[in-house]
Amino acid sequence: MADVGIAGAGLAGPLLAVYLSRRGHDVTLYERRPDPRLAGAAGRSINLALSARGIDALERVGLAHDVMGHGLAMKGRMMHDRSGQLAYQAYSADGSKAINSISRHGLNGLLLDAAAKEPGVVLHFEERAVAVVAETGELTLEGPSGRHTVTHEVVIGADGAYSALREAVVRSERADYRQEHLPWGYKELTIAPDASGGFALDPGALHIWPRGDSMMIALPNPDRSFTATLFWPFEGDAGFAGLDAPDAVRARFDRDYPDAAERFEDLAGEFARNPVGSLVTVRVWPWVRGRLGLLGDAAHAIVPFFGQGMNCAFEDVVELDHCLGETADDWPAALATYAERRKPNADAIAELALDNFVEMRDKVASPVFRLGKRVEHAIERWAPEHFDSLYELVSFTTVPYVEARRRAAAQRRFPANLAALGAAGAARAADAVRKVVP
Ligand code: FAD
């Protein structure tokens, strides 16, 4: 069994530590931040949507039940127009399937607790990985006691979108590397509970204020607040730049989000204090060099518009575990197979996530688009063996992303698919469509 060093104890790092420990490996996790479980480290409440792929990965090591106990199910999107009118769209054809709003901080703590309980897992906080020699597994760290070097048989870079360990791969011969930022950034704000302490908005939905060139979304928290995220261009009329004065901030919200403007905990204060994050897609190849492998955002950061970055990172962990199983823990062979299998899927979800930004900030505002979704769901209900929406395949199944994209593209060739249904099936589908199209 191997001695494995993992840089990064965010979401994927500790889950990987649990999986590896169950296989009998020794694991040391190095995290640059202080331990987030310690008092005072909570910070702002930020949440994520957890769906089938992530749940499956947690389930396999017995963590899904605990995590889901802290989640809030969101069965659809609630669109808010400029006049405050609401339009609801279920995520699944039968309206019953949900994605789950989970606290990032809470999930991180739960995963760290799970890793710490495993035999053979050691956690080090405030230790930043600064470099790795991929051929020897020599890892240089910087911590409170200065710079030092450790050596592991295998080193995994799970150190996020701006991974330091990725450098060792990028610098290798014939490596491909592309880091693309969107001209939009994001900022998180808090929508407070209402005057009676309840949710200010329906907690069973993910809320979207689509405004064409920008949008705001909000996901519920167990404390009955919502975390709202602005996705605005950095520059221009709808952008963050130059919007400093509290009155101007309030005027922008009164104009664009009038039904939410009153509901923020501290609109001007949080707007001034909270940073604007950037939205990056990272494509790199290879993912493996010598004793070093990349996993999660370090290998494939994607934009958050399909709610899949973490889910995809957790799927990486499952695939690496499969590959170790298939090769009787032959690390070089397992890492190579893991990378070959995951790379096309990571590329597919990166592309789908970029496409979904247009859908969320613009298309969902259109009644015609929403009608199209109802038609899609009607057909799925009547011919489930032939139709699954892209959203269902991505969020409610573990069908590989490449296959989900292929099936969704094939389904867009609608007339041909109707033919495949045969006369009776086509008649049923047409009947279903007539029920939702006025
Ligand atoms: P991270 O969670 O980023 O963890 C990396 C860890 O490495 C961090 O703890 C960091 O401190 C540490 N680190 C960094 N550098 C070093 C170093 N040099 N040495 C040691 N430690 C280091 N995904 C979803 O599935 N659903 C969502 O709804 C969703 N919403 C999102 C919303 C936003 C605004 C953003 C930006 C992302 C969202 N994501 C979502 C994506 C998700 O956050 C990431 O895909 C996920 O966190 C990736 O996990 P990771 O462990 O690879 O990286």
pLDDT value at residue 377: 80
Reported as a single tens digit per residue, the pLDDT across 219-247 is 999 999 999 999 999 999 889 998 989 99
- Residues facing residue 74 across a β-bridge: 99
pLDDT value at residue 410: 83
| Distance (Å) from CA 138 to ligand 1 centroid | 24
Contact 319, 342 (CB under 8 A): yes
| Distance (Å) from CA 376 to ligand 1 centroid | 33
pTM of the entire predicted model = 0.94
Binding site membership of 12 for ligand 1 (Cβ less than 6 Å): yes
Query: How do strand 146-151 and strand 72-74 relate by DSSP bridges?
Result: unpaired
Percent of the chain at pLDDT > 90 equals: 82
Binding site membership of 128 for ligand 1 (Cβ less than 6 Å): yes
Q: Which mutation among 32, 187, 310 tests ligand 1's pocket best, with the greatest number of atoms within 8 A of CB?
A: 310
For residue 163, give the ligand 1 atom closest to its CA: 15
Nearest C-alpha to atom 32 of ligand 1 is from which residue? 304
Binding site membership of 316 for ligand 1 (Cβ less than 6 Å): no
Reported as a single tens digit per residue, the pLDDT across 280-300 is 999 999 999 999 999 999 999
For residue 161, give the ligand 1 atom closest to its CA: 3
Binding site membership of 36 for ligand 1 (Cβ less than 6 Å): no
Residue 41 has pLDDT above 70, yes or no: no
Residue 269 has pLDDT above 70, yes or no: yes
Binding site membership of 303 for ligand 1 (Cβ less than 6 Å): no
Contact 297, 179 (CB under 8 A): no
Residue 162 has pLDDT above 90, yes or no: yes
Binding site membership of 109 for ligand 1 (Cβ less than 6 Å): no
Q: Tell me the CATH number for domain 181-278.
A: 3.30.70
Reported as a single tens digit per residue, the pLDDT across 94-118 is 999 999 999 999 999 999 999 999 9
**What is the average pLDDT across 31-55?**
88
Q: Euclidean distance between the first and final Cα of the chain, in Å?
A: 64
Q: Who has greater pLDDT, 370 or 4? A: 4
Q: Which of the four pLDDT bands, split at 50, 70 and 90, describes residue 40?
A: low
Contact 105, 46 (CB under 8 A): yes
**Of 339, 338, 349, nearest in space to 402 by CA:** 349
Question: Rounded to whole angstroms, how far apart are CA atoms 279 and 305?
Answer: 10
pLDDT value at residue 379: 77
Question: Structural domain boundaries of the chain?
Answer: 3-71+101-179+280-357, 181-278, 366-436
pLDDT value at residue 342: 98
Binding site membership of 408 for ligand 1 (Cβ less than 6 Å): no
Question: Rounded to whole angstroms, how far apart are CA atoms 288 and 276?
Answer: 32
Binding site membership of 158 for ligand 1 (Cβ less than 6 Å): yes
pLDDT value at residue 411: 78
* Cβ neighbours, 10 Å, residue 429: 23
| Distance (Å) from CA 433 to ligand 1 centroid | 41
pLDDT value at residue 166: 98
Strands lying side by side in the sheet with 215-220: 86-90, 76-80, 205-210, 215-220, 226-233, 176-191, 277-285
Q: Tell me the CATH number for domain 3-71+101-179+280-357.
A: 3.50.50.60
pLDDT value at residue 409: 86
Question: Rounded to whole angstroms, how far apart are CA atoms 22 and 143?
Answer: 29
Q: Which mutation among 6, 11, 72 tests ligand 1's pocket best, with the greatest number of atoms within 8 A of CB?
A: 11
